[in-house]
């Protein structure tokens, strides 16, 4: 028993969190709430052990009472002295353990909570208790990328747009001007997506044909499925019962998984349809879901029925000279339009089966029975002969049709071309409404909303996503990510915006709330190497390889200052002093640090001393006039920028310096080197205090051309970016790996707390831990390394390079390479609630706050006003309140709200799901205006603001309307009470 007790005690002590601050008499207290099951098991064993001890001592006591001391000594001699020593020790230890466990005074119980309690001097930044460091950051959003490849689709209501972003799917709310990324990943880049007609089910298929069935509203993966072949197109039937999937030269139709039935195999194959001789490019359902039409590279389209029809043979629509990319039904199903890649649009009409006239202009009505009753669609198709009614051409010289879509209700045909031009035609008259150029590269995907008002376009090469309202000829959405890699990022002081710089020479500013880029600066003519905000957040600085450092005004959105060096150099890093009056930049050519005055734009000083390119700069946040610089010459120098002495403290290291970072108090600095180590220096004492060997931490993932395993592949693995948390307790490090590491660096510990994997996308190099030996050919080469672009377009496969040249005909930017999973820059938000990484996938944001909040009380069949009243009668006030909000009936909400006891308000406010916080605040604000329960409403307002203050502050832009309602009603209440006071006083 004691052995089990000891094991549980050791496990418990290893998993608890110890307090960091020495309270009188309670040094090293533990937080029991972290592992309550282990603690409970420990207590149960202690109680059981104490009971056994008592039961074993009772016979000895009885023997003493009956026979006296002599017989007791005889019993001890008989049973052994060790036995009774064990009993005595067991009893004493059990009693001591029980007393310690239950004797903690009540006034110290708040110390055992998992919250952070601040002292009365919290405004000075002194935190009284910090028991547990929060490291459970989760993926929140992708801001730097809006579209990669695949098709874009509108939601059924037309208010949102789904866009594939690598192996993820982003949702753009066009009404509320907000975007978020669903929290799941496909194995590889997504090739096609489809949304059910009711908008509840989303299917995303990657390049290999592996599909994920997802709850679109909650972003939860319901099922994994493999189609075993690349999927060009996937479509739900209009009634939502079937899914048509292209499968090479075949089409497979699957039954849609039913959410009302619990199925072991959600995907059930209905039928496979054949007939094409090359890959199928698209599939389109008829309005009644009874048949569908497919298009293929074999320059034909074929019409199939969902179920077998007697006497029916699949119809073939031939006559095009290039691949048919799409085909569509008219609203009544009597006309079919086919669009080919060469810009031809054929209109096909249905004719009588007995009519032998083969005129293309025949536009007779569809077949009917002799008694005048129109046949059903299945028999109609079975007895219909289709012919070309009209041939039309777009006449866009030197261009190809890439994508198209059709709105049957308004007969609008939208076509995207390879030159970045799109056109809108009204069918069947083929009258051009307008043609517009929206991109310099080909349009990869096009979609139209159900109402036919909005058009969505995606351009793969430039990463553009646009939503166009064709009637008013205006943009609803116009977003574009960085064309090349994203190199650097910086958080604004308020944490609401992020600035990024890329290899395309552009500086973009993103909103963390909406996920949209709201300003782009294009003044630089070379890649951006670093960006930084001034302390006030209204000025942004950027350094570039074009030899300039620029300052931008984020109020007027203009470049108001440009800093240059006396001789042209390339700037590799940037730093701004805490006052925002001096900006410093390091060069890669002259190995010098340049200082400028922001107000005058004049060069203040040139600091020399390094003998290799300068890789990183950072000013001391404590305002000590210190600047730290790291260089490839394996040294770190601390400069006294504004001092008269000009003393420089050099620190020598064993490898090239890649990144430096000051701790927020300015007393310590972290340095990352090429050998994978992170070294810590005490700036005041000028000595090294700790070293973290992070090569094993950052290593992971095997590239296709690696000759060693991922566990042993540490070559080139290092951290090229460091960032401290706001309190200086943790250090975030990212580099040439798929991992970002978070270290606990308090008091020189250097313990890795958590390792984040930024991507699981197998389309990127370095994400797999083990290579597939089945993909290695006889020559020992991985087949994925062989350039095989048979599936791409002919113009993309043409080799225009000169003989013996491998990079194109004089164009050195044309390269063939595999993107690698890595991060170039990591930064913590000033609030400490999030961090961001500039990665291959884009701008990744990890947050402690869930962007898509789960609602545990969703609408169901059982959710009725009667059920809400029943729950309220059972005194489950929180559940009743949330259920009333789900029904959105104001009288019912008011009834539940007014029946909540005042003593339960604090508890309910803490447990309220975050999604209902602004809803309840708005309701209380409106209720306060007309309710006599003034104190009750004020208690609700105060409790909600105190409990969810951080959420409301961080998302103040989103809840601005709620704050205005509260401010208005509270102001009116104040005026009313003031008038009553004045009247009663006089």
Q: What is the pLDDT of residue 929?
A: 75
Cα–Cα dist 825/615, whole Å = 13
How much is the pLDDT for 111? 37
Check if the beta carbon of residue 594 is closer than 8 Å to that of residue 606.
Answer: yes
Alpha helices in 839-948 (DSSP H): 865-873, 877-887, 890-898, 905-911, 917-928, 934-947
Separation of alpha carbons 381 and 373, rounded Å: 15
- The average pLDDT across 339-350 equals 92
Contact 951, 959 (CB under 8 A): no
916: domain CATH number is: 1.25.40
Q: Flag whether 529 is in a domain.
A: no
**Of 177, 154, 180, whose CA–CA distance to 168 is shortest?**
180
Q: At 593, is the pLDDT very low, low, confident or very high (cuts 50, 70, 90)?
A: very high
249 in any annotated domain = yes
Are residue 270 and residue 366 in the same domain, yes or no? yes
Predicted pLDDT at 346: 95
CA dihedral 281, 287, 292, 295 (to 10 degrees): -30
Number of separate domains in the chain: 4
Report whether 306 contacts 294 (CB < 8 A). Answer: no
pLDDT beyond 70 at 705: no
DSSP state string for 732-782: EEEESSSEEEEEE-GGG--EEEEEEE----TTSBT--SS--GGGB-TTS-B
Answer yes or no: do 388 and 455 share one domain. Answer: yes
Separation in Å, CA 408 to CA 148, 233, 401, 432, 466 = 28, 19, 20, 16, 22
Can you tell me the mean pLDDT for 707-735?
A: 81
Q: What DSSP assignment string belongs to 562-585? A: EEE-SS---EEEEEE-TTSSEEEE
CATH number, domain with residue 423:
2.130.10.10
Q: What is the pLDDT of residues 1-52, one digit of tens each?
A: 555 555 555 555 555 544 443 333 333 444 444 445 655 666 676 676 667 6
**Given this model, what pLDDT does residue 953 score?**
76
The pLDDT mean for the chain works out to 80
Backbone angles phi, psi at 243, to 5 degrees: -130, 125
Taking the C-alpha atoms of residue 329 and residue 292, their distance in angstroms, rounded to an integer, is 9
pLDDT in tens, 163-217: 999 999 999 999 988 899 999 999 999 999 999 999 989 999 999 999 999 998 8
Residue 234's pLDDT is 96
- pLDDT of 377 reads 55
Q: Would 611 be classed as within a structural domain?
A: no
Give the residue from 255, 252, 256, 254 showing the smallest Cα distance to 272.
Answer: 252
* 274 is a domain residue: yes
Q: Does residue 49 sit in the same domain as residue 162?
A: no
Instruction: Tell me: do 774 and 871 sit in the same domain.
Output: no
Q: What is the pLDDT of residue 402?
A: 94
Please indicate, yes or no, whether residues 77 and 156 belong to a single structural domain of this protein.
Answer: no
| CA nearest neighbour of 29 among 102, 140, 131 | 131
Beta-sheet strand order (sheet of 842-847): 138-142, 842-847, 834-839, 823-828
Asked if residue 649 is part of any domain, the answer here is: no
Q: What are 321-331's pLDDT values in tens digits? A: 999 999 999 98
Per residue in 667-679, pLDDT tens?
899 999 998 899 9
User: Is the per-residue pLDDT at 456 higher than 90?
Assistant: yes
Note the residue count of the chain.
986
Last residue of a domain, one of 421, 453, 480: 480
**pLDDT on residue 108:** 38
Is residue 77 within a helix (H) or strand (E), and if so which, with residue range?
Answer: helix 36-79
Give the Cα separation of 447 and 315 in Å (integer).
27
Residues 370 and 264 in one domain: yes
Is the pLDDT confidence value at 478 over 50?
yes
Domain residue limits at 89: 2-119
15: three-class secondary structure by DSSP:
helix
How does residue 584 score in pLDDT terms, banded at 50, 70 and 90?
very high
In terms of average pLDDT, the best of 24-38, 88-102, 962-976 is: 962-976
Look at residue 26 in the predicted model and tell me its pLDDT.
Answer: 38
Helix residue ranges, H only, 665-710: 695-698
Q: Are residues 234 and 195 in the same domain?
A: yes
Q: Are residues 102 and 156 in the same domain?
A: no
pLDDT category at 153 given cuts 50, 70, 90 is very high
Residue 460: inside a domain, yes or no? Answer: yes
> Considering the domain boundaries, does residue 594 fall inside one?
no
Which segment of 360-374, 571-585, 840-854 scores lowest on mean pLDDT? 360-374
Q: Where among 119, 136, 170 does a domain terminate?
A: 119
What's the gap between Cα 503 and its chain centre? 23
Range from 148-152, 466-470, 914-918 carrying the lowest mean pLDDT? 914-918
Strand pairing partners for 242?
255
Same domain, 734 and 701: yes
Tokens of 750: 């250097």
* Within-domain flag for 100: yes
Q: Which residue has the higher pLDDT, 100 or 122?
A: 100
- Of residues 565 and 382, more confidence is placed in 565
Return left, alpha or beta for 125; rule: phi > 0 is left, psi -120 to 50 is alpha, else beta.
left
Determine the average pLDDT of the residues in 67-94. Answer: 56
pLDDT at 831: 82
Same domain, 314 and 393: yes
Check whether residue 212 and residue 77 sit in a common domain: no
**Two structure tokens written together for 65:** 């009472």
Q: Which of 480, 512, 531 is the last residue of a domain?
A: 480
The proportion of the chain whose per-residue pLDDT surpasses 90, expressed as a percent, equals 42
Together in a domain, 912 and 825: no
More confident residue, 282 or 60: 282
pLDDT at position 23 = 37
Strand-pairing partners, residue 826, are: 837
Nearest by Cα to 629 from 698, 694, 681: 681
């Amino acid at each position: 028993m004691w052995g089990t007790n000891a094991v549980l005690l050791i496990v418990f002590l290893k998993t608890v969190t110890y307090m960091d601050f020495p309270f009188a008499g309670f040094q090293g207290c533990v937080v029991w709430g972290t592992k309550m099951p282990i603690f409970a098991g420990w207590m149960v064993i202690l109680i059981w052990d104490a009971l056994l001890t008592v039961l074993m001592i009772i016979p000895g006591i009885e023997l003493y009472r009956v026979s006296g001391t002599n017989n007791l000594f005889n019993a001890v001699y008989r049973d052994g002295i060790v036995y009774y020593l064990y009993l005595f020790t067991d009893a004493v230890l059990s009693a001591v353990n029980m007393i310690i466990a239950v004797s903690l005074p009540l006034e110290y119980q708040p110390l055992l909570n998992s919250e952070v309690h601040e002292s009365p001097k919290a405004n000075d930044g002194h935190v009284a208790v910090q028991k547990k460091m929060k490291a459970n950051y989760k993926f929140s959003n992708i801001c730097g990328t809006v579209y990669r490849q695949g098709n874009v689709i509108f939601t059924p209501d037309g208010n949102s747009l789904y866009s594939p972003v690598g192996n993820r799917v982003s949702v753009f709310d066009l009404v509320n001007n907000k975007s978020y990324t669903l929290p799941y990943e496909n194995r590889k880049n997504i090739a096609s997506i489809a949304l059910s007609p009711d908008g509840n089910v989303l299917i995303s298929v990657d390049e290999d044909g592996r599909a994920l069935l997802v709850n679109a509203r909650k972003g939860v993966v319901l099922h994994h499925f493999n189609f075993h072949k690349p999927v060009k197109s996937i479509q739900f039937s209009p009634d939502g019962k079937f899914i048509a999937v292209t499968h090479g030269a075949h089409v497979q139709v699957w039954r849609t998984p039913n959410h009302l039935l619990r199925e072991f195999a959600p995907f059930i194959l209905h039928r496979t349809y054949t007939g094409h001789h090359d890959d199928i490019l698209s599939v389109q359902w008829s309005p009644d879901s009874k048949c569908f039409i497919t298009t293929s590279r074999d320059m034909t389209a074929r019409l199939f029925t969902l179920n077998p029809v007697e006497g029916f043979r699949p119809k073939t629509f031939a006559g095009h000279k290039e691949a048919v990319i799409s085909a569509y039904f008219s609203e009544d199903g009597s006309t079919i339009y086919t669009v080919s890649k060469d810009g031809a649009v054929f209109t096909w009409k249905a004719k009588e089966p007995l009519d032998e006239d083969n005129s293309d202009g025949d536009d007779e009505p569809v077949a009917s029975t002799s008694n005048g009753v129109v046949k059903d669609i299945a028999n109609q198709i079975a007895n219909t002969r289709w012919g070309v009614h009209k041939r039309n051409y777009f006449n866009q010289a030197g261009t190809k049709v890439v994508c198209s879509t059709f709105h049957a209700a308004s007969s609008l045909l939208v076509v995207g071309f390879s030159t970045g031009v799109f056109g809108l035609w009204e069918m069947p008259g083929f009258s051009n409404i307008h043609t517009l150029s929206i991109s310099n590269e080909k349009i990869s995907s096009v979609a139209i909303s159900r109402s036919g008002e909005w058009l969505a376009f995606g351009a793969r090469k430039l990463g553009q996503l646009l939503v166009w309202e064709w009637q008013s000829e205006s943009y609803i959405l116009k977003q574009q990510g960085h064309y090349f890699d994203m190199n650097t990022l910086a958080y604004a002081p308020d944490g609401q915006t992020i600035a990024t710089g890329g290899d395309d020479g552009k500086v973009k500013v993103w909103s963390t709330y909406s996920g949209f880029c709201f300003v782009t600066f294009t003044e630089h003519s070379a890649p951006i190497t670093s960006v930084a905000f001034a302390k006030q957040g209204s000025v942004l600085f950027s350094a570039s390889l074009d030899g300039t450092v620029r300052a931008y005004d984020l109020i007027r959105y203009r470049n108001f200052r440009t800093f240059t060096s006396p001789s042209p150099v390339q700037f590799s890093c940037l730093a701004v002093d805490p006052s925002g009056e001096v900006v410093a930049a390091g060069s890669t050519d002259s190995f010098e640090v340049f200082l400028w005055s922001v107000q005058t734009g004049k060069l203040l000083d040139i600091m020399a001393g390094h003998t290799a390119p300068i890789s990183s700069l950072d000013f001391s946040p404590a305002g000590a006039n210190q600047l730290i610089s790291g260089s490839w010459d394996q040294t770190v120098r601390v400069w006294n920028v504004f001092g008269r002495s000009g003393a420089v403290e050099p620190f020598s290291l064993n490898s090239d310096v890649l990144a430096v970072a000051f701790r927020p108090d300015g007393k310590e600095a972290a340095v990352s080197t090429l050998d994978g180590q992170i070294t810590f220096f005490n700036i005041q004492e000028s000595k090294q205090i700790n070293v973290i060997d992070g090569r094993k931490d950052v290593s992971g993932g095997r590239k296709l051309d690696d000759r060693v395993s991922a566990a042993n592949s540490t070559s080139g693995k290092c951290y090229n970016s460091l960032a401290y948390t706001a309190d200086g307790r943790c250090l975030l490090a990212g580099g040439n790996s798929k991992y970002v590491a978070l270290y606990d660096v308090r008091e020189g510990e250097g313990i890795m707390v958590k390792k984040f994997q930024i991507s699981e996308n197998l389309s990127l190099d370095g994400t797999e831990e083990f290579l597939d030996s089945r993909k290695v050919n006889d020559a020992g080469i991985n087949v994925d390394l062989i350039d095989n672009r048979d599936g791409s377009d002919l113009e993309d496969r043409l080799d225009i390079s000169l003989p013996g040249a491998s990079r194109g005909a004089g164009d050195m930017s044309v390269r063939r390479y595999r993107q690698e999973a890595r991060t170039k820059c990591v930064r913590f938000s000033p609030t400490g609630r999030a961090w961001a990484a500039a990665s291959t996938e884009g701008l990744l944001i990890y947050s402690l706050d869930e962007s898509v909040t789960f609602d545990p009380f969703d609408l169901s069949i059982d959710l009725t006003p009667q059920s809400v009243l029943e729950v309220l009668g059972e005194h489950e006030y929180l559940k009743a309140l949330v259920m009333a909000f789900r029904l959105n009936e104001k009288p019912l909400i008011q009834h539940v709200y007014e029946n909540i006891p005042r003593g339960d308000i604090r508890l309910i406010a803490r447990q309220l799901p975050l999604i209902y916080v602004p809803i309840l605040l708005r309701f209380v604000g409106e209720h306060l205006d007309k309710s006599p329960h003034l104190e009750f409403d004020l208690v609700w307002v105060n409790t909600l603001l105190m409990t969810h203050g951080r959420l409301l502050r961080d998302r103040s832009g989103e809840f601005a309307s709620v704050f205005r309602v509260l401010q208005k009603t509270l102001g009116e209440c104040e005026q009313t009470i003031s008038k009553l006071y004045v009247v009663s006083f006089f």
